[in-house]
Amino acid sequence: MTIEKVGLDAAALKAQFPLLSRTINGRRMVYLDSANTSQKPDTVIDAISDYYRNTNANVHRGSYQIAHEATEALEGARAKVASFINAPSTSEVVFSKNATESLNLVAQSWGRKNLREGDTVVLTELEHHANIVPWQMLREAIGIELRWIPITDEGKLDLSDLDRLLDGASLVCVSAMSNVLGTLNPISDIATRAHAAGALVLADASQYVPHLPTDVQTLGADFVAFTAHKMCAPTGIGVLWAREELLEDMPPFLGGGEMILQVTKEGYTTNDLPWKFEAGTPPIAEAVGLGAAIDFLSELGMKNVRAHEVALTAYALRTLSERFGDDIKIFGPSEPAERGGVLSFTYRDVHPHDVAQVLDQQNVCVRAGHHCAKPLMQRLGVGSTTRASLYLYNDESDIDVLSDSLAEAGDMFTF
């Protein structure tokens, strides 16, 4: 299947991302690290620049014209996020600085209020550290128990013992899509079983929202965290969506301005949702950029983005496997429809960092390391992997350059 058949013209899209036109040492940029952070299109860059040039003011406070405009820009971006993920209300969309802060917000606010010594939180072996460490910190603080959903050798969650793991559990924390394996996890099925057992579900959707149509109402999780910088938007802003009744019951995460209605010497009363969780000056320009990115992605159509990536992932798996055979091991599900465009691999006995360094000499951008998932690396039996990750602006030519550059790395390390 060629990319053109699924509705996205990757070559035309590349032209809208200025950094992708950069050459280094005469070589074009082949950017294959979007699981780390995505590139930004002109429309997003222009929206941020326009905000600073024409609107820059603080929100929710000033009575002058540009202050009103800034407030409208921030809250307009919130409305775009709500629509993009089909949230029932904008009051359920909380802005944070990234997904990590969103996940910590749940742990420190909901967790500290609702969990006691001996209560259980269920994690999975493929979680990012941001969905592990906050719960380990809470275990140290109040003595909760952590249980782990294992994975199969193909990198899927092994749910055969899920009922036992859910017995008496209060919360299940699970990535919607693995940042290492690309595995798409059955969030709605897990949520159905978790709810039946009396547990809530927190989904880390950092790798999911940028790549697939997202409907939080059908996904089934009670909390959904994601970040903007992986979806063509700027760094410095993330999102926590949660059911309104949960947010209403949770104490504020940070204290200060904006999150209060009243402060006296005796105490304070919190602001309405979602501002209750947004202490201080929010990331206004970043929200404007996020809104522009959502407009950009919505115009493309997330179904088209997903179809493009499935086709390109299939091409990448086929190309690399046929060319390198047993010399390359690509982790995760073998069926492209069951995974995102994340290809973590080991190549011969070459250290992943050496592979990445050689690829960098060809201006091919990949990541090497443990990808903030050390427990998963231990399960896979490796210290690190090289990771090439795909997005809407990649095409088959990028995979071909990756393949050729990987062959050069193999030649360089052949003795």
pLDDT in tens, 12-28: 999 999 999 999 989 99
Could you confirm whether 372 is annotated as catalytic? yes
Judge whether residue 44 has pLDDT over 70: yes
Q: Which of 173, 232, 365, 372 is catalytic?
A: 372
Tell me the per-residue pLDDT of 172-223, one tens digit each, with 9 for 90 and over.
Answer: 999 999 999 999 999 999 999 999 999 999 999 999 999 999 999 999 999 9
User: How far is the C-alpha of 340 from the C-alpha of 207, rounded, in Å?
Assistant: 8
What size, in residues, is the chain?
A: 415
pLDDT for the residue numbered 415? 53
Bridge partners for 132 per DSSP: none
Q: Which of 144, 167, 153 is nearest to 125 (CA)?
A: 153
pLDDT for the residue numbered 412? 84
Tell me the per-residue pLDDT of 160-169, one tens digit each, with 9 for 90 and over.
Answer: 999 999 999 9
User: Which residues are CB-neighbours of 66 under 8 A, at least 6 positions away?
Assistant: 54, 55, 56, 57
Tell me the per-residue pLDDT of 313-344, one tens digit each, with 9 for 90 and over.
Answer: 999 999 999 999 999 999 999 999 999 999 99
Tell me the per-residue pLDDT of 61-98, one tens digit each, with 9 for 90 and over.
Answer: 888 999 999 999 999 999 999 999 999 999 999 999 99
Q: In the chain, list all ranges with CATH 3.90.1150.10.
A: 3-31+301-412
Judge whether residue 1 has pLDDT over 90: no
Share of the chain above pLDDT 90, in %: 95
Bridge partners for 238 per DSSP: 96, 227
pLDDT band at 4 (very low <50, low <70, confident <90, very high): very low
User: How far is the C-alpha of 172 from the C-alpha of 190, rounded, in Å?
Assistant: 9
pLDDT band at 413 (very low <50, low <70, confident <90, very high): confident
- Edge-first strand order for the sheet with 223-227 is 93-96, 238-242, 223-227, 200-204, 169-175, 120-124, 145-149
CATH class of 46-298: alpha beta
pLDDT for the residue numbered 3? 41
Q: In the chain, list all ranges with CATH 3.40.640.10.
A: 46-298
Judge whether residue 381 has pLDDT over 90: yes
pLDDT band at 411 (very low <50, low <70, confident <90, very high): confident
Give the CATH H-level superfamily of domain 3-31+301-412. Answer: Aspartate Aminotransferase, domain 1 (3.90.1150.10)
Q: Is 340 helix (H, G, I), strand (E, B) or coil?
A: coil
Phi, psi of 273 (to 5 degrees): -70, 145
Q: Is the CB of residue 151 less than 8 Å from the CB of residue 158?
A: yes
Strands 169-175, 200-204: pairing kind:
parallel
